Amino acid sequence: MAGADIHHRTEDFRALYSGVLEGLKYFMGTTNDVMVFTSSGTGAMESAISNLFSAGDKALVVCAGKFGERWTEMTRAFGLQVQVLEAPYGDAVTPERVAEALQTDPGIRGVFVQATESSTGVSHDIEAMARAVKGTDALLIVDAITGLGTSHLDIDGWGLDVVIGGSQKAAMIPPGLAFLSLSPKAWERAEPRRSGYFYFDLLKHKKGGEKGESPWTPATSLLLGLAETLRYIRELGRENLIENAQLLAKATREAAVALDLELFAKGIPAAAVTSIRAPNGVSSNDIVKQFKTRFGSIIANGQGSMKGEIFRIAHLGYFDFADLFGVIAELEIILHSLGQKVEFGQGVRRVQQVYVEAAGSQGS
Amino acid sequence: MAGADIHHRTEDFRALYSGVLEGLKYFMGTTNDVMVFTSSGTGAMESAISNLFSAGDKALVVCAGKFGERWTEMTRAFGLQVQVLEAPYGDAVTPERVAEALQTDPGIRGVFVQATESSTGVSHDIEAMARAVKGTDALLIVDAITGLGTSHLDIDGWGLDVVIGGSQKAAMIPPGLAFLSLSPKAWERAEPRRSGYFYFDLLKHKKGGEKGESPWTPATSLLLGLAETLRYIRELGRENLIENAQLLAKATREAAVALDLELFAKGIPAAAVTSIRAPNGVSSNDIVKQFKTRFGSIIANGQGSMKGEIFRIAHLGYFDFADLFGVIAELEIILHSLGQKVEFGQGVRRVQQVYVEAAGSQGS
C-alpha cells in the first residue's frame, strides 16, 4: 500500500486528482461541480448541512430506515427545525407526501432523502420528489451512497441540488472517500459563508479541485484506486453498470420468491441490495452466520430492530452472476440446514433463467 | 487493495479496530482515551474545536508557521475569540509568552499549538507550555501530527489534554486516518453536548471504540495497514522510533552545516523535518525539482512566502540512514550543478560519522 502512494503536492498528483473529479462527473452523470472528501459518506452528508443551512432553518427529512434516521439526527445536531416524513421499515415515503408538506409550509429550506435506503432495500421516487421541490425555495439533498451506479438518477435533468456518493459502493474501492455534486442553486446557498465548519468546507474543496488539489492531505492511496475503478466504469459505460445491478437485483428477488421467501421491500425495490425476510421460526442471525462460517460469504443482517428478522444481499459494483449463482446455492443449503423445505437448485435455476433471458435479448 | 478489504461490521474487524486503538495508545504513550477518524489530521484538529469549545470562547493560538495559521483560521471559523501569539517563520513561540498571556487573561479556555511546526522545522517546548497551562481553566491542544514518533511527548505526565496525530507521518501508512487522545479534563468539556458537529463527534467515537466499532464506515484498508505498522512500532519500541528520527535529524543538520548551508529553524529544531535555506542566488524550487527529476526523490519546498527560499528533508517513520546517505549525496550533486562550490562527499562523510558515533555508543 505504501508502495502505491504518491505525494499530494506534485504535478503527478494534480493530474490524478483532476482525473478523479472528471471521472466522478461521468460516473454521476452531471456537469455540476463535484467535490471529494477524505471521509465516509456521512462526512459528505454533513457538509451539505453545515455549508448550506443555518441553525433554525426548516428542513424536511424523508425517513424510511436507518439512513433516513441519520438525516434526522444530523440535521438536528446542526440545530435545524426538522419535520420528519416517516415510513415504516420496508415502505417508502411517497412523493405526494413531500409535495404536500412543501405546500403546507413554504418556509422549508431543504428536503433530505435517500435514493435507496439500504437498511431496508427500498428506493425513493427521486424524479417525482424533484418535481415537487422544483420552484420552491428548498434544496433537494439526495444521499445516493448506494443509489449511484445502481439506479437511474438524472442529476442535471431532474434538478438534484446535492447528490452524495461514497467510494466503497458502486465505485468499488475500500471506504474512505466521499463525494458530492452541487447545483448552481445550492452554490447560491453556500454564500454568504456561515461559521461552524472547516474540514468539510465546500468552497475550499471546489477551489482546490480547480487546481487539482485537495485543501487538506487527501487519502492518496484510495484516490489511486478510485482513478482505476472510474476508468473501468468509463470503459464499461455508466448505464451498463446500472443495468448490471438492476438485473442482479431482479434475479435475486425472483430466486427468493422461487424459494418461497418473502421480500421485505414494498414499492420500488433498491437495485443495490435485496432485503429478504427470514422464514417463520428462523432468525436471520443464523442465516448470516452460516454464510460466513460455511462459505466465507458476507451477507448483511438487518440493522436495529430488523436484526434477526431480515437479511440483505448486495449486488453492486463488481458483483456479477458468478457471485450470485454461488450466493443462492449457499442460501439453499443454509435454509435446508435450518429445517426449511428446499429443493436444491430451485433458486439457482431462476437466476440462470434471468441470466439467459437477458443474455438472449442481447443476442449472445 | 480491494482484496485486502474486510467488512466493518464483523468480529474480525472489531478485533482489528480494538487492536489499532491499543496500538495507538502505545505509540502515543498514553492511558487517555484515543479516538480514530477517517480524515486527514485537519479533521481531528476540527473535532477538538467543535466538541470542546463554543462560539465566543476565548482561545490562545501559538503560531509559528503554516500549521499555526491553520489553528488560527479554524478556531475563527468556529467563532472563537482568538488571540494569536506569533513568531516569525523559523522561530518558535516561547513558553514564557504563553504563561504571560494566560496570567493576563484568565478567561482563556484553550491553548492551541504545534509540537513541531513542519512548515519551518521548529519545535515548541510543549513540556514548559503544559506547566503554564496547568492549574488554569484552559485546555492544551497539541497538533502532534509530525511530532508523534519524532519527539518525546509525555502526554499523561505533562498533562496534555488533546494530542493529535495522522496516519501518514511516523505511523508510516498513506494519509486518510487521524487520531487523538483526550484527557479527563478535556472530556469534562465535551459535556454538555454542543450543537454543530456530527461526523467528528468524540463521544460517539469513544463509545464506538469501546465496542470495537467506528460510528461511521471507516477506511478499512488503511486500518489494516495501520494495524501492521503499529505492530512494527511495538516491536521496535516507541523510544527507538523517536531516537531514529532524532539521530537522522542531527545527521542532516550536521551535513548541511558541513556543506556551508544555513539551517532555517532557530531554537529547538524538529526531528520530523529539517529545513535548510537555499544558498544565496539559488532558488529552492530548482533544488526540489532536481531531486525529483534526477533521482526521483521527494524533498519538500517551502510553503507560502517560504517557497523558493527553503527546502525541507523529512526523516520520520521508515526513513533511515540508507535513505539519508543517498539524499545528502544527491544534494551535493545538485548544489554543484547549480554553481555552488562543493567537495563531493563532504556532507555524506558527516552523516557517516554521526552514524558511526551512534552505532559505537550502542556497542555495535
Window B:117-146, CB contacts with A under 8 Å: none
Residue of chain A whose Cα is closest to the Cα of B302: A9
Crossing angle of helices A95-104 and A126-133, in 10° steps, is 10
Cis peptide leading into A215, omega within 30 of 0?
A: no
Residue B219 near chain A (CB below 8 Å): yes
Whether residue A222 lies within 8 A of chain B, CB to CB, comes out as yes
B69-77, long-range: CB within 8 Å, 24+ apart, which pairs?
Answer: B70/B42, B70/B45, B71/B45, B71/B112, B71/B113, B71/B114, B71/B143, B73/A198, B74/A198, B74/B42, B74/B45, B74/B46, B74/B49, B75/B49, B75/B112, B77/A195, B77/A196, B77/A197, B77/A198, B77/A201
> Which among B13, B40, B180 is the top mutation candidate for probing chain A, defined by the most A β-carbons within 10 Å of its own β-carbon?
B40
Of A307, A359, A278, A300, nearest to A146 by C-alpha is A300
Render pLDDT for B208-257 as a digit per residue (tens, 0 to 9).
999 999 999 999 999 999 999 999 999 999 999 999 999 999 999 999 99
Architecture of domain B238-361: Alpha-Beta Complex (3.90)
Q: Say how far apart CA B136 and CA B109 lie, in whole Å.
A: 9
Q: Give the pLDDT of chain A (364 residues) as one tens digit per residue.
A: 333 456 777 788 999 999 999 999 999 999 999 999 999 999 999 999 999 999 999 999 999 999 999 999 999 999 999 999 999 999 999 999 999 999 999 999 999 999 999 999 999 999 999 999 999 999 999 999 999 999 999 999 999 999 999 988 788 888 999 999 999 999 999 987 888 999 999 999 999 999 999 999 999 999 999 999 999 999 999 999 999 999 999 999 999 999 999 999 998 999 999 999 999 999 999 999 999 999 989 899 999 999 999 999 998 778 899 899 999 999 999 999 999 999 999 999 999 999 999 987 654 4
Q: Model pTM?
A: 0.92
In this complex, do A217 and B168 lie within 8 Å of one another by their Cβ atoms? yes
Q: Do A55 and B196 touch (CB under 8 A)?
A: yes
Query: How far is A282 from A309, CA to CA, in rounded Å?
Result: 8
Interface test with B, best of A198, A229, A297, A306 (most B CBs within 10 A): A198
Cβ atoms of B163 and B154 within 8 Å: the answer is no
Instruction: Choose, out of A9, A13, A16, A38, the residue to mutate when testing the contact with B (most B CBs < 10 Å).
Output: A38
Domain map (residue ranges) of chain A: 11-236, 238-361
Q: For residue A301, give the chain B residue with the closest CA.
A: B9
**B173 CB near a chain A CB, below 8 Å?**
yes
pLDDT of residue B63 exceeding 50 = yes
Among A199-203, B126-130, B194-198, the least confident range: B194-198
Topology annotation, domain B11-236: Aspartate Aminotransferase; domain 2 (3.40.640)
Radius of gyration of chain A (CA): 21
